[in-house]
Amino acid sequence: MARSVLRSPAESLRALRSFWRRSLQWRVVISTLLLAGLVVALVGWMLLRQVTEGLLESKREQALSEAAAGFKSAQDQLDAADLVESDARALLSDLVNDLNSRGEASGLHTVVLQGPVEGTPGSSIPSGSFKDAPVDVDSVPEDLENELADRNYAPDEDGSLWSYTRLRYEPGVDRESVPALAVGSLVTLPVGGTSYMLVFLFPLDEQQDTVSVVRGAILTAGSLLVLLVGGVVYLVIRQVVTPVGLARRIAERLAAGRLEERMLVRGEDDLARLGTSFNQMASSLQRQIRRLEELSRVQRRFVSDVSHELRTPLATVRMAADVLHEARDQFDGATARSAELLQDELDRFETLLRDLLEISRFDAGAVILDLETVDLTEVARQVVAATETLAARHGARFVLTAPEHPCTAQADIRRIERIVRNLVSNAIEYGEGADVEVTVAASQDAAALTVRDHGAGLRPGETVMVFNRFWRADPARTRTKHGSGLGLAISLEDARLHGGWLEAWGEPGHGAQFRLTLPRAAGEPMERSPLPLVPADAALPGAGVKPVPPLSGIGGS
């Protein structure tokens, strides 16, 4: 129970693959959703990138302009100050406080002053970071510090450098870090010409919030658009696939014999015209099949009636022919020969009549099997013994190969003997005097017998046609044969009744082989035959030599 509910990953994957191959509707819908999702993602990414770049560019221009004014104001304050080195620290602190107060008033920036720049002369110059806000000095990007300290940097037209960073706060400050734009330049103290790095940190939290809102809007709108496209495609495909699926189901029912099935046609569009054409085709097929069935029924009835009606006059002719045949020694040579020919042709006619009656019983479905345990090895020995005289007359010998243990199957022994006798007789008559090889084997679920001759063989396509009624491989060559042309057809029907396979292989000039395979237990399925269809001594093995595929349940593997 648990195994039926819980599937393994491999089984689930196979189920998904099967669903993907079988469902045209969902295959189109899923492919459209994936393609629409890809297009929406690409457009959304391009739109978000343009919005982001536009916001950053606008903010950068504003920040550079404001920072340039701040740098000029700071330098003017430093140049206007009249102080000694001992007053430098107080001057720098006042400068930073003044600049920070301006930024805090507008909420636009924070100021950090660091220095002096390496290599600046002076011994009493104040060093370190000057700030009037709880900002971590690590917020100033290292690459910006290095370029300002190099003194050989290529600044913008306003003499400043800029870089993106994150604005971090000192421990204990309940504020999260935000992306920021750092704009820096050098300012110089009038005392000793000492330079300091003056950095403005402009927070980009508003731009980040705007980008987040735009991103959310794009995701929401894109998702809704993809779902809308998928829904529209589903409805459109459903309108197309539903009639096609209905036509498939109707076609399957027609194939199963329910010829009265028809499609429901609505409207006048292409699908409606397709349904009308389908119904017309189904009606035409129904008429043709019923006509053929009626012809077949009349034909079977005719064969059955004629066969039965011929039995009485044939019995009378047989009695007269027997009297003439027994008295042939009293006739002259020509009359005695005529009596012998009459006897031979009556034997042939009785065989044909018996086969026709058997075929009519198959067609009428009036055949009942008398099942018992049959040993194919014993059947093969009995048939070989019974046909040795015929084989000797054709100059042929038998080679029987069978295991020591019995190869049993549940079957009607009379019909199995008839199959083997037909196969062996054909091998003798068409084997051109060569040895006839009979092989028997069994597996766990099947028992098999093969009959191999080394005669003219079969041409491509004849391995299936050989089981047709009254079919002959070469009428000009086989006119002297006394068969009715129904032996293999009857053998095939007998094999089908047992749930078995009767197959043929042949090559021109290299003989033929027939294989009979029976289930060991009546009604049980068989996976494969214990004997190969293509013999081991076949010419050019594997070069175009293939077993006959099963047709209508007559063949196996």
Q: What is the mean pLDDT of residues 332-349?
A: 80
The region, left, alpha or beta by phi > 0 then psi within -120 to 50, assigned to residue 305 is alpha
Identify the pLDDT of residue 299.
67
Average confidence (pLDDT) over 182-189 = 84
Note whether 94 and 178 are same-domain residues. Answer: yes
- Residue 8 pLDDT grade (very low, low, confident, very high; cuts 50, 70, 90): confident
Q: How far apart are CA 454 and CA 397, in angstroms?
A: 12
The rounded distance, in Å, linking the Cα atoms of 280 and 508 is 46
Answer yes or no: do 357 and 473 share one domain: no
Task: Give the residue from 518, 551, 547 showing the smallest Cα distance to 535.
Answer: 547
Give φ, ψ of 206 to 5 degrees. -65, -40
Looking at 230, 257, 284, which one is the last position of a domain?
257
Given a cut of 80, is residue 543 above it in pLDDT?
no
Q: What is the CATH number of the domain that holds 223?
A: 3.30.450.20
Q: Which residue has the higher pLDDT, 323 or 308?
A: 323
Instruction: Note the pLDDT of residue 213.
Output: 92
Residue 474 above 70 pLDDT? no
- CA–CA separation, 112 vs 118, rounded Å? 17
Indicate the pLDDT class of residue 15, thresholds 50, 70 and 90: confident
**Rounded to an integer, what distance in angstroms lies between the CA atom of residue 479 and that of residue 473?**
11
Are 377 and 452 part of one and the same domain?
yes
Cα–Cα distance, 102 to 106 (Å, whole number): 7
Question: End of a domain among 336, 364, 392?
Answer: 364
- Tell me what the mean pLDDT of segment 277-281 comes to: 84
Q: Has residue 527 been placed in a domain?
A: no
How confident is the prediction for the chain on average, in pLDDT?
79
Strand-strand pairing, 398-401 and 436-442: parallel
DSSP string, 468-491: STT--S-HHHHTT----S-HHHHH
Q: Which of 30-34, 441-445, 484-488 has the lowest mean pLDDT?
A: 484-488
Picking from 485, 480, 493, the residue whose alpha carbon sits closest to that of residue 469 is 485
Tell me, what's the pLDDT at 489?
86
The reply to whether 29 falls in a domain is yes
Same domain for 360 and 376, yes or no, is no
15 and 153 belong to one structural domain: yes
For residues 437 and 536, the answer to whether their CB atoms sit within 8 Å is no
Report whether pLDDT(161) > 70.
yes
What pLDDT does 478 receive? 44
- Shared domain for 286 and 423, answered yes or no, is no
What burial class does residue 192 get, using C-beta atoms within 10 Å of its C-beta: 0-12 exposed, 13-18 middle, 19+ buried? Answer: middle
Average pLDDT rounded to a whole number, residues 140-145: 83
What would the mean pLDDT of 182-201 be, rounded to a whole number?
Answer: 80
- 132 shares a domain with 47: yes
- Name the residue range of residue 440's domain: 372-519
* Separation between Cα atoms, residue 89 and residue 95, nearest integer Å: 10
Q: Are 199 and 161 in contact (CB under 8 A)?
A: no
Q: Rounded mean pLDDT of 382-399?
A: 90
Model-wide pTM > 0.75:
no
Mean pLDDT on 363-370: 74
**Cα–Cα nearest to 70, from 109, 101, 99:** 99
**Residue after which a domain boundary falls, among 344, 364, 384:** 364
Residues 470 and 339 in one domain: no
Q: What is the CATH number of the domain that holds 279?
A: 1.10.287.130
Q: Classify residue 116: in a domain, yes or no.
A: yes
Confidence class of residue 9 from pLDDT cuts 50, 70 and 90?
A: confident
Q: What is the mean pLDDT of residues 381-403?
A: 90
Judge whether residue 119 has pLDDT over 60: no
**334 and 473 belong to one structural domain:** no
User: Number of structural domains, the chain?
Assistant: 3
- Of 183, 180, 184, 182, which Cα lies nearest the Cα of 207? 180
Q: Are 461 and 337 in a shared domain? A: no
Q: Do the domain assignments include residue 553? A: no
* pLDDT value at residue 65: 85
The answer to whether residue 126 is domain-embedded is yes
CA pair distance 516, 502, nearest whole angstrom: 5
In a domain, 100, yes or no: yes
pLDDT for the residue numbered 549: 36
Whether residue 376 is contained in a domain is answered as yes
**In whole angstroms, what is the distance from residue 124 CA to residue 382 CA?**
128
535 φ/ψ sector (left φ>0, alpha ψ -120 to 50, else beta): beta
438-466 per-position pLDDT tens digit: 999 999 899 999 999 998 888 888 888 88
Q: Domain containing 494 — which CATH number?
A: 3.30.565.10
Output 261 or 438, whichever has higher pLDDT.
Answer: 438
Model confidence over 204-218: pLDDT tens digits? 888 888 999 999 999
pLDDT band at 247 (very low <50, low <70, confident <90, very high): confident
Say if 130 falls within a structural domain. Answer: yes
Handedness of CA 281, 282, 285, 286 (dihedral sign): negative
State whether 40 and 96 are in the same domain.
Answer: yes
Residues 14 and 143 in one domain: yes
Q: Could you tell me which of 498, 358, 489 has the C-alpha nearest to residue 416?
A: 498
Write the pLDDT tens digit of every residue in 407-421: 999 999 988 998 999
Q: Categorize the per-residue pLDDT at 106 as very low, low, confident or very high, splitting at 50, 70 and 90.
A: low
